[in-house]
């Protein structure tokens, strides 16, 4: 078997090309515009470490597309961050915002650093310097960062403060979302991505495609990643009566056939900084978690976890992509052929950017909505998104919408949910581009 290519740009290109096959009138001249990033910023700067040594930091901010509004996307701090990864994540943000109908374009940022080895002071200096270098890029109407892997409310507070100090005399709160509540953050933002996962799963299961699992209650769930998204997802699924049988972080996976006690797990993680070692649990690897016998598998950590080498071993009936890009195109094909349903990232984790948009609206109006208002709006957005993609998928399945190869006229197979979600998003961005009129 030839080795699978895991380059994030090649993967996003493959996903785009697959969706494009099903789109009827996409002008070929637009394709490159939709595929390419609008701008890529690569920045290096020196940082003084606590021991007075100096280190050079490499950072990225990519704006993929601005057709629907200012750039929107998280800031990821990770030693493996690459230009290709940040570009692919910025693209994903364009499609996600278009699919859930919020007036933002796609962007993403990355800082190559290992948060686990840095002090809070070093992190603050890196974040302030990076923000100052992006002063002409980010802004309440141009490009609005948010948290992602290994960044959090504190990181967003530093970004806001730096931008505000350097741009005094105006309301700068909407420059960044995912802020602490005290600084204009939205109630429910921290929980939004994990809660959004629950909402899309509920809605998806209500379509009765998987007769054995018609609701979240009673479902056996395995979650990879126990950071912001994984923790909230575990809590929300548990609250709805699901049994969380496995959880993992970068230290490994813990498993309990009869279900994990989340309060005990959270307490252990707080005390020890890792999951492995929680009493009365079995230790497994992250690879073993993916192949566990469960109903719902939620990857909520890093990319490429479900690939051509393990997709055929997956026993879950439904995969809910809380993480970005956790599944490769080769795995998509295997899962589809094996009847494993998958709610793709641009639907499953869109709750985060939805509530980021609500935060931005609240900041412009100098308002704070109550939690119920935020969650009702979030639920509506997530349900609408599942319904839109599901309806289109059904039309393709029953042949109401024809899908034939544009050159040979041969019928194309029915697409999976990722392809239907992507084709819907790509069409929206393409149509809006033409509707605005090509300038000049």
Give the binding site for ligand NAD (CB under 6 A). Answer: 147-150, 193, 224-230, 248-250, 286, 300-302, 322-324, 349, 352
Q: 153 vs 295, which CB is nearer to ligand NAD?
A: 153
* Token pair belonging to 385: 């998104």
Distance (Å, rounded) from C-alpha 46 to C-alpha 263?
Answer: 42
**Token digits of residue 396:** 């393709």
Both structure tokens of 128: 């302030």
Report angle CA 319, 7, 432 to the nearest 5 degrees: 75
**CB of residue 324 to ligand NAD, shortest distance in Å:** 4
Closest CA to 339 of 321, 306, 312, 320: 312
Q: Is 108 in the active site?
A: yes
**Residue 22 or residue 228: which is nearer to ligand NAD going by CB?**
228
- Minimum distance between the CB of residue 411 and ligand NAD, rounded to whole angstroms? 35
Which residue of the set 108, 179, 243, 379 is catalytic?
Answer: 108
Minimum Å gap between C-beta 405 and ligand NAD is: 34
Cα 279 from Cα 23, distance rounded (Å): 52
In the bound state with ligand NAD, the residue whose beta carbon lies nearer, of 316 and 403, is 316
Which is nearer to ligand NAD, 162 or 324 (by Cβ)?
A: 324
Report which of 90, 82, 79 is spatially closest to residue 37, judged by C-alpha positions.
90
Q: How far is the CB of 290 from ligand NAD (least distance, A)?
A: 10
User: Phi then psi for 407, rounded to 5 degrees?
Assistant: -95, -50
- CA nearest to 223, candidates 320, 338, 304, 138: 320
Cis omega (within 30 of 0) on the bond before 88? no
Give me the least distance between CB of 54 and ligand NAD, in Å please: 27
Task: Count CB-CB contacts under 10 A for residue 233.
Answer: 31
**Which CB sits closer to ligand NAD, 149 or 198?**
149
C-alpha distance from residue 243 to each of 226, 265, 424 (Å): 16, 14, 34
Residue among 14 and 251 whose Cβ is closer to ligand NAD: 251
Q: What six digits make up the tokens of 80?
A: 């493996």
Quote the least distance from Cβ 81 to ligand NAD, whole Å.
11
Number of Cβ within 10 Å of residue 217's Cβ equals: 13
Catalytic site positions: 108
């Amino acid at each position: 078997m030839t080795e699978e290519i895991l380059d994030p740009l090649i993967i996003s290109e493959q996903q785009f090309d697959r969706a494009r096959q099903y789109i009827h009138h996409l002008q070929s001249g637009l394709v490159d515009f939709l595929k390419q990033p609008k701008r890529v910023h690569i920045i290096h700067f020196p940082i003084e470490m606590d021991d007075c040594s100096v280190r050079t930091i490499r950072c990225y901010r990519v704006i993929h597309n601005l057709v629907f509004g200012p750039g929107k996307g998280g800031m990821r701090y990770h030693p493996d961050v690459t230009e290709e990864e940040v570009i692919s994540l910025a693209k994903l943000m364009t499609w996600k915002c278009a699919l859930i109908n919020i007036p933002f374009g796609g962007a993403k940022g990355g800082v190559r650093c290992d948060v686990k080895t840095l002090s809070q002071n070093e992190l603050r200096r890196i974040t302030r310097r990076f923000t100052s270098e992006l002063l002409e890029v980010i802004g309440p109407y141009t490009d609005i960062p948010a948290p992602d892997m290994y960044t959090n409310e504190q990181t967003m507070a530093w970004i806001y403060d730096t931008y505000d100090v350097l741009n005094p005399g105006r309301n700068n709160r909407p420059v960044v979302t995912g802020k602490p509540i005290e600084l204009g953050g939205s109630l429910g933002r921290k929980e939004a991505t994990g809660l959004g996962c629950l909402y899309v799963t509920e809605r998806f299961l209500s379509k009765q495609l998987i007769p054995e699992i018609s609701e979240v209650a009673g479902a056996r769930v395995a979650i990879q990643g126990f950071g912001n998204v994984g923790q909230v997802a575990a809590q929300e699924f548990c609250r709805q009566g699901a049994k969380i049988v496995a959880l993992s972080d970068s230290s490994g996976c813990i498993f309990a056939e009869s279900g994990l006690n989340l309060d005990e797990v959270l307490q252990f993680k707080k005390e020890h900084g890792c999951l492995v070692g929680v009493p009365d649990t079995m230790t497994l690897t992250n690879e073993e978690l993916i192949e566990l016998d469960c109903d719902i598998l939620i990857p909520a950590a890093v990319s490429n976890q479900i690939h051509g080498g393990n997709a055929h071993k997956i026993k879950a009936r439904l995969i809910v992509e809380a993480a970005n890009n956790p599944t490769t195109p080769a795995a998509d094909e295997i899962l589809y052929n094996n009847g494993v349903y998958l709610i793709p990232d641009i639907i499953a984790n869109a709750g985060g950017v939805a509530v980021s948009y609500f935060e931005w609206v609240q900041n412009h109006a100098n308002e704070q909505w109550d939690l119920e208002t935020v969650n009702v709006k979030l639920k509506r957005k997530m349900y609408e998104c599942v319904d839109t993609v599901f309806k289109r998928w059904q039309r393709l399945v029953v042949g109401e919408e024809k899908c034939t190869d544009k050159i040979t006229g041969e019928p194309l197979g029915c697409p999976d949910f990722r392809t239907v979600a992507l084709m819907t998003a790509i069409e929206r961005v393409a149509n809006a581009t033409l509707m605005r009129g090509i300038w000049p």
